[in-house]
Chains A and B, each alone.
Chain A
Amino acid sequence: MEVLSIVLFFLPVFFPIVYGICLAASRKKEGAENSFTSLQVIIPGALEVVFILLMVFFGSEKVHLFNFFGKSDLWMKKDGLAIMFTVLIGFIFFVVSFFAIGYIKHEDSKFDEAEGTKTLAGSFFFGFYFIVWGVLVGLSLAGDLVTFYMFYEIMSITSVILVLHDMSREAIYAAKKYLFYSIAGASLALFGFAFLLFTSGHGSLEFVSGGHYFWESVYSSQTPMDMTLPVSVQIAVFCMVLGFGAKAGLFPLHAWLPSAHPVSPAPASAVLSGIIAKAGVLGIIRVMFNYVGADMLRGTWVQYTLIILSLLTVFMGSMLAFVEKVFKKRLAYSTVSQVSYVLFGLFILQPLAAVGALLHVIGHAVIKCTLFLNAGAVIHATGHHEVKDLKGIGRALPITMTTFTVAALGLVGIPPVCGFFSKYYICVGALSSGTTQVFGYIGTGILLVSAILTAGYLLSISISAFFPGEEFEGYEENLEKSGKVSKGMLLAMIILAAMAVLLGLFGKELVEALTKIVKDFGFFFDMMGLGGLK
């Protein structure tokens, strides 16, 4: 029984890693057009999805890995958050891989005459795609800080290859920058982690619902409302959140996003901003809710500073996206702003807002993947990178731009597309949080201004794409010389856009499930906040 449960946990993590290493190491066959075949991607992808589902349905609650230097036990855990993230990762990676096949085949070993550089082989890209996939599943299943940190670092380093794929000068620069920021963030997190370990003398590193410090205060028979965290722990938590915030694009360490996204291939940008940015969010949730405890942080300078930083990021991201001219860079700035919606929802420490934050993790992953795939399809078909060149493209690529418009409406927050509901929960949660109600009003204002800017930078593209003027004809000759958007690519975009709408239409069950997850976050003194949940 023990063995079976270990196998169930290890398969979805290590199968893609091993397979990815094999794929990356494989050589191109003589006479073959590409370095990989479609089946080499789809079959393992489907297998991985099956493994994830097996783990979700039949896996045990948690699995013991080994003892860490006699100090603490290491675990893999399957709590609600882990299930949510693994299923999301499985879905997004699987769907995006359909797109990636067509896209990467076209890019495969392209030679850039100007720089004399060759893009990396397609098999290499997919190899690392699978490795990152497996590592991310491992990251979501990690049950304690050590395991989490280990997977986090592996993920940072392996995903650099996805950015590097072009091998152009910009790509190398962006990859370096990405690595720099990732490592800066991770070391900040590690610093906080070590500081926490050695100042508080806490034995356990495990994630528990409600947080260690909360339970400690309960056991020491003080009322937790009176007990405040020691300053050293506050500093440690602050450092860890800022460090994990580097991946999530939180203000001081956000700058890698707008550099890395435009140069990486579209499917890579999609998972970078759809999933990998959320890995930072996962880290923050683990630290704040499963290690320290939400109630311990309420009303401290840590909370206020983090709220201010997240709001600053929301505004800065959408403002810069509004003035940005390169399509994918615009989407990257949009990610900066949107992921900070999630962080704002978490930092406000109110259960309803936390439900909204989790919903936005899912909604934003689906929507932003759609948008990046749309951008990729446009670049694939026309070679245009700038927004001003997109005039009339709706005539040439109707499905691409329709899915783009649906996703854009979702991101702006127009019901019934799913973006509206997460915004509703975040804002209403913030407005009804007692202690931080001032931040609630400011935050709601900034979120809505950001939504207006979102409409400004996305819907303007839709309008010029679909309404270029009656006599406009300019895309015919362009389309002939570039790649055709294949059926697999269209399928991926349609599935994701449809998902964005379906989540909005039939998301009631999802919201109920998320409410259960949030109950594990340890809002013991604010549970009535969920009473307002419709």
Chain B
Amino acid sequence: MMNDLLSRFCIFGLSFQSDGMRILYFLITTFVVICCSLFCKEYLAGEHKNKRFWKYWIITYLAVVGFLFSADFFTLFMFFEIMSFASTVWVLQEENEESDYAGRLYLRISVICGMVLLFGFFMVAAATGEFGFAKIAEKISGGVLSEGQIFAAAVLILVGFGAKAGVFLVHVWLPKAHTAAPAPASAVLSGILTKTGIVGIIITTCILGLMGNENWGTLLMVLGGCTMFVGAFLAIFSTNLKRTLACSSVSQIGFIVTGISCMVLLENGFAYTGTLLHMFNHSMIKLVLFLIAGGVLKKTGSLDLNKIKGFGRNKPFLMVPFAIGALSIAGVPGFSGYVSKTLIHEAVEAVHGIEAAHIVGIVFTITGGMTLCYMTKLFVCLFIDKGEASEKPGLSKLSYAAVCVPAAVLFVLGILPKVFAKIPSVAVLKEFAAAIPELEFEEVEEMHWFAFHTMEGGLISISIGIALYFLFVRTLLIRKGEYKQGLPFWFDLEKYIYRPVILYFLPFVMAFFSRIFDKFTDFIAYALKTRVLTPLKPKQKAVEGNAVTEFFGKLFDLITFRNWRKDGGERKSFVHRFATANEGMNALGRVIERSLSLSLLLFSTGLLITLIYMLCK
């Protein structure tokens, strides 16, 4: 009965399924949302339009859950879109200039990339005639689409999901939207919504039969490398607390995408473990960090690093969770981020025969160092530097609980890497298991977490990070105790490239051509009315001037559009002007003629008199 109803609901019918990975992420989502809701009690007190916020908070949560458990592409897409639109309200919630800019940007990116995604979806649906993941995978492996078409569809879908995840080139909304949204919303946007994009990418890869496809793996590898580096780069230069965290999100998504590319290339459980654990870590870490940032904003009214200096001094319940989050995200051994980053790093090293993997491996290590660098920068600013903000009061107990509980979870998992690394082996995504029949997790269990050769990469990263912090940040980005914005103002892909092109240039050009087509028929009708359908006037004989003046007059009239005017055309026309001028010329000529003949007459009279005089002499 229930199934029958569901299969008719929304025309195509909805279908759901569950597996370990979906349940795990459902639990994480619920945990994050509950923590944020607890935090909201203090954060939203005294703000406007709270009811609206809660309404869309719940809608988005339900949409995320629906998205996670969907078993077919239509359900997936529907909940994805509902989630995008509902979460736009969060970004717009504050209703100031910044949130308006960010919200509209978020909506534009959602719509544009959603439609690109839809194109890919249409291609798959048209070729297979199916929506269910399992059935699509079956049909695709049966060869209904050529390899090129599959790749094209996959790239289109990647654009759509990548935009939500924040993959390079479509990551531009993330730093702005996360900064503008209320802090609990930022935590969910960054911790959960970006992951839906990642889940979408993994599912697409699995059902389109792209596991083991080298081109696809390389593409993801390159994108992941770019994303992680660009995010970390922007984060180092940022002087805004939440913006730094948002850029850090972009960077961490880069690590996760790299993990996916290793899943594609290696086709084993090793890369899967790293990817899933990093998703988990990132969700929890960003929950802690964004909530702390929210507390800072609530109490100091600012996110500028120069104004919030020292806020966390003498507040151990902020300092310890922040330290755990920071160390974890930087991948310091002994914390949970170390486990996931090490796994992804080992996976990248294990990829053979692809040039990009070597470069990405190096970028990986450097970016790990950069992560430590910008987290240290934030930590030092908040908890070590001295400033006015240290006098501000702390948060309520409930808010402290919302921050400390996830931090405690992270800490416990960090010191028990063996247990932690076991989670993915029980939480396997159904589509992934279907795409790779002989999935094994033995390699992960054999890892020696605290052996030197395992820690080697992490330690190199850490030393790079420390060096970067002391040699670069402390010397160049901090002048006289002030944090400086190191990047020039035009270093903004969205504001100075995307926006002018997509919002102004293209519409201008396209609207110009559209307008021509729009006025086409009207113009013909007008021309018919004024030129052809008016009764012909009898041809008038030229009343003035001669043939030459009339010819040139008409020519000039034609050039200057004189004869198209209705009023005073007769008097202003060049025919008339030339005729008058000709008349004048003639008159002048006559005057000259006459005066010349008179003077000739006088001259000859003079000559005659002279002649007579000379004769008489």
Chain A interface residues (CB < 8 Å from chain B)? 180, 251-255, 258, 312, 315-316, 319-320, 322-323, 409, 412-416, 421, 424, 427-428, 431-432, 440, 444-445, 448-449, 451-452, 455-456, 459-460, 463, 466-470, 472, 504-508, 511, 531-532, 534
Contact = CB atoms under 8 A, between A and B. Distances in A.
A320 B115 contact: no
B103 A463 contact: yes
B11 A252 contact: no
Given A251-B517, A255-B522, A463-B107, A432 B115 contact: no
20 contacts: A255-B518, A255-B519, A316-B517, A414-B81, A421-B12, A424-B122, A427-B126, A428-B122, A431-B126, A445-B119, A448-B115, A449-B115, A456-B111, A467-B92, A468-B95, A470-B48, A504-B11, A508-B9, A508-B11, A531-B129
B13 interface: yes
Nearest to A333: B518
A230 to B, nearest CB: 29
A448 B125 contact: no
A302 B73 CA distance: 36
B354 interface: no
A455 B111 contact: yes
Given A409-B85, A414-B85, A531-B129, A431 B122 contact: yes
B11 A460 contact: no
B115 A460 contact: no
Given A448-B115, A470-B48, A459 B125 contact: no
A395 to B, nearest CB: 11
Contacts, number: 121
B78 interface: yes
Nearest to B75: A415
Contacts of A505: 9-10
Given A316-B517, A415-B10, A448-B115, A323 B122 contact: no
A333 to B, nearest CB: 9
Contact of A320 (B103, B127, B511): B511
B81 A319 contact: no
Nearest to A251: B517
Give the interface centre of B8, B11, B96, B510 by most chain A CB atoms within 10 Å: B11
Interface in B94-115: 94-96, 99-100, 103-104, 107-108, 111-112, 115
Interface in B1-53: 8-13, 48
Contact of A470 (B78, B95, B511): B95
Contacts of A253: 521
Interface residues of B, number: 48
A476 B504 CA distance: 34
B560 interface: no
B123 A431 contact: yes
B74 interface: yes
Nearest to A471: B95
Give the interface centre of B10, B107, B520 by most chain A CB atoms within 10 Å: B10
A467 B510 contact: no
A436 to B, nearest CB: 13
B424 to A, nearest CB: 32
B100 A448 contact: no
B589 interface: no
B92 A463 contact: yes
B116 interface: yes
A370 B580 CA distance: 66
A448 B116 contact: yes
Contacts of B62: none
Nearest to A455: B111
A432 B107 contact: no
A454 B526 CA distance: 31
B104 A469 contact: no
A415 B123 contact: no
Nearest to B516: A316
Nearest to A181: B521
A416 B10 contact: yes
A117 to B, nearest CB: 24
B540 to A, nearest CB: 32
B521 A460 contact: no
A138 B100 CA distance: 50
Contacts of A323: 507, 511
